[in-house]
Amino acid sequence: MTYTMTFEGRPVRAEPGQSVAAALVASGVVSWRVTRGQGRPRGLFCGIGLCHDCLITIDGVPDQRACVVPARDGMRLGDRDDA
């Protein structure tokens, strides 16, 4: 089966076993946060859980590494749909 997550309110599909980052990238999203200092966009860099560039809020929990967290059906990704 295919999972459906939401990223900032939009649907994002994921295959079981994919990471959150892989699902975002596969759907054409390459950045999902901006830096604290200069507001620069960031997405994946190291791809293996070390650089923390890919931090994302998942189901309201901030600062998760999108490249290591497995995608799950119904996940809410990104800050703007925390409420």
Residues within the interface to other proteins (CB under 8 A): 15-19, 21-22, 25-26, 30-31, 35, 37-38, 40-53, 55, 67, 70
| Choices 8-16, 26-34, 46-54, 75-83 (CB under 6 A): range interacting with ligand FES | 46-54
Subset of residues 47 to 66 that bind ligand FES, contact rule: CB under 6 A: 47, 49-54, 65
- With a CB cutoff of 8 Å and minimum separation 6, the contacts of 66 are 19, 20, 21, 24, 32, 44, 54, 55, 56, 58, 77
Return the number of the residue (39 or 74) whose C-beta is nearest other proteins: 39
Distance CA 80, CA 57 (A): 9
